[in-house]
Amino acid sequence: MQKIYSGFILLLLIFSPSIFADTALEKFATLENSGLLMVDKFGHPILSDQANTAFIPASTTKLVTAWLALKHWGEDYHFKTHFYLDSSTNTLWIKGSGDPFLVSEELIVIAENLKNHGIQQINAIGLDSSLFQENLLLPGTGVSQNPYDAVPSAIAANFNTINLKKIKGKVVSAEAQTPLTAYAKTFSNQLKRRSLRVNTGPDPVNAERYFAELLAAFLRKQGIIVGDKIVRGRVDKQARLYTHTNSKSLAEMVTAMMKYSTNFLANQLVLVLIAETNHRPANAKDVQQYMEQTLIKHFHWTNFTMKDGAGLSRDNRLSPMQLVDLLHAFKAWKKLLPEIESNIYAKSGTMNGISTLAGYIVDDNNWQPFALMMNQAVPYKFRNRIAVALANKTVRH
């Protein structure tokens, strides 16, 4: 269907400026490594160009991740984290569930509830991170200290990032609700300006250490005596003391992931999905297998590649048609996408030399899917200009 329309539409774009007069669409027609598909409310193509060609999707991959998670758990799902007490050693154990939204506000509630469960003193904090494979690193993850390169971990706090600032020469936490821990202080020498936000480093062990230090700090604020020792292992016969249910629903998490394009959150969701499905520690190989097999089963796709849930890998491949297929299936959760322009709800993707956008154009309460993929350098927000032109065309169609 796409190829039949593709050549015809492209000729119209080039030779009939009176029909497609929008400058953005005219410029798009000159691009060599790009694809586009927009359909009407009946699913019929309005515009189609290389719609079956696979391109690097960048963060529009998060649409796939969101669909997988929402289809599996439902939008009202809340992650749970279990706490255990080993009375023989007086160790408080945490079994990591991969909860991607254990932020300081949640840790405050956890500390309060642990106190209410009778905890007055613990000698050590134990971490069970067996949900994920040790030293897990997903394809595409960079080695920079930027928050978008935060590594996944079965136990994580604040998206595995640290936020610092300097006040009158003194390094403090940049978040009023987050204490400054010993591990966070190790980044102080990198604070050259007034503020610094970094990830916890490439080793998940350090991310888990940061979690334990933060939890200890919040427990101490509740008057609980906490030893400095952090141990690792597996929860076995310890008695379950408390189960924490995250206050945020999956729908709220997906909304944040789409708005801020949080790579950490996206990869956490996929990893927890495959750990639950396969009943073994999540690993990079299983990520690709789970994503691809699920998509083949549901959509019968061919000629695509999914290696991570965030869209960081340049080996990922999707076509505009596949993204539009996905958007048809995603319509139940369409309002979780951010409104990037008036009546345009979409997820963008950006990498060096990559600019993508996929979502819906809303016309008289009709949510019409579109996917735009440019695998070459284009001006900033050029994709938004094209989307606006598509919206104008939808109104006239």
Residue 12's pLDDT is what? 40
Average pLDDT over residues 59-76: 98
Distances (CA, A) of 34 to 27, 102, 371: 11, 39, 11
Predicted confidence (pLDDT) per residue in 185-195, tens digit? 999 988 888 89
pLDDT at 276 over 70: yes
To the nearest 10°, the Cα dihedral for 136, 139, 140, 142? 30
* Nearest-angstrom CA–CA distance, 50 and 341: 25
pLDDT at 39 over 60: yes
Contact between 311 and 356 under an 8 Å Cβ cutoff? The reply is: no
Tokens of 105: 């506000």
Query: Sorting pLDDT into bands at 50, 70 and 90, what band is 380?
Result: confident
Residue 309's pLDDT is what? 97
* Nearest-angstrom CA–CA distance, 151 and 266: 11
Residue 194's pLDDT is what? 85
Nearest Cα to Cα of residue 159 among 309, 262, 251, 258: 262
pLDDT at 19 over 50: no
Average pLDDT over residues 312-330: 98
Q: Is 2 exposed, middle or buried (0-12, 13-18, 19+ CB in 10 A)?
A: buried
Average pLDDT over residues 362-372: 94
Tokens of 112: 């309060």
Q: Is 170 exposed, middle or buried (0-12, 13-18, 19+ CB in 10 A)?
A: exposed
Query: Sorting pLDDT into bands at 50, 70 and 90, what band is 183?
Result: very high
Contact between 187 and 199 under an 8 Å Cβ cutoff? The reply is: no
φ/ψ of residue 131, rounded to 5: -65, -30
Residue 9's pLDDT is what? 44
Burial code (b: 16+ CB inside 10 Å, e: under 16) for 333-360 equals beebbbebeebbbbbbbbbeebbbbbbb
Between these two residues, 142 and 14, which has the higher pLDDT value? 142
Burial code (b: 16+ CB inside 10 Å, e: under 16) for 221-239 equals ebebebeeebeeeebeebe
* Nearest-angstrom CA–CA distance, 278 and 297: 17
Residue 395's pLDDT is what? 59
Query: Sorting pLDDT into bands at 50, 70 and 90, what band is 10?
Result: very low
Percentage, residues of the chain above pLDDT 90? 86
Average pLDDT over residues 53-73: 98
Distances (CA, A) of 15 to 21, 34, 51, 72, 391: 10, 19, 20, 47, 21
pTM of the model: 0.92
Predicted confidence (pLDDT) per residue in 261-272, tens digit? 999 999 999 999
Tokens of 88: 């023989």
Nearest Cα to Cα of residue 43 among 328, 387, 234, 311: 328
Between these two residues, 107 and 137, which has the higher pLDDT value? 107
Residue 55's pLDDT is what? 98
Residue 20's pLDDT is what? 36
pLDDT at 2 over 60: no
Mean pLDDT of the chain: 92
pLDDT at 7 over 80: no
Residue 393's pLDDT is what? 79
Q: Return the SS3 of 127.
A: strand
Query: Sorting pLDDT into bands at 50, 70 and 90, what band is 365?
Result: confident
Average pLDDT over residues 326-335: 97
Give the number of C-alpha atoms closer than 13 A to the C-alpha of residue 144, restricted to the C-beta side.
Answer: 7
DSSP state of 241: E
Percentage, residues of the chain above pLDDT 70? 94
* Nearest-angstrom CA–CA distance, 379 and 366: 30
Nearest Cα to Cα of residue 119 among 223, 233, 212: 223
Average pLDDT over residues 118-129: 97
Average pLDDT over residues 293-314: 98
Contact between 51 and 247 under an 8 Å Cβ cutoff? The reply is: no
* Nearest-angstrom CA–CA distance, 143 and 65: 23
Q: How far does the chain reach from its first CA to its final CA, in angstroms?
A: 19
* Nearest-angstrom CA–CA distance, 98 and 114: 20
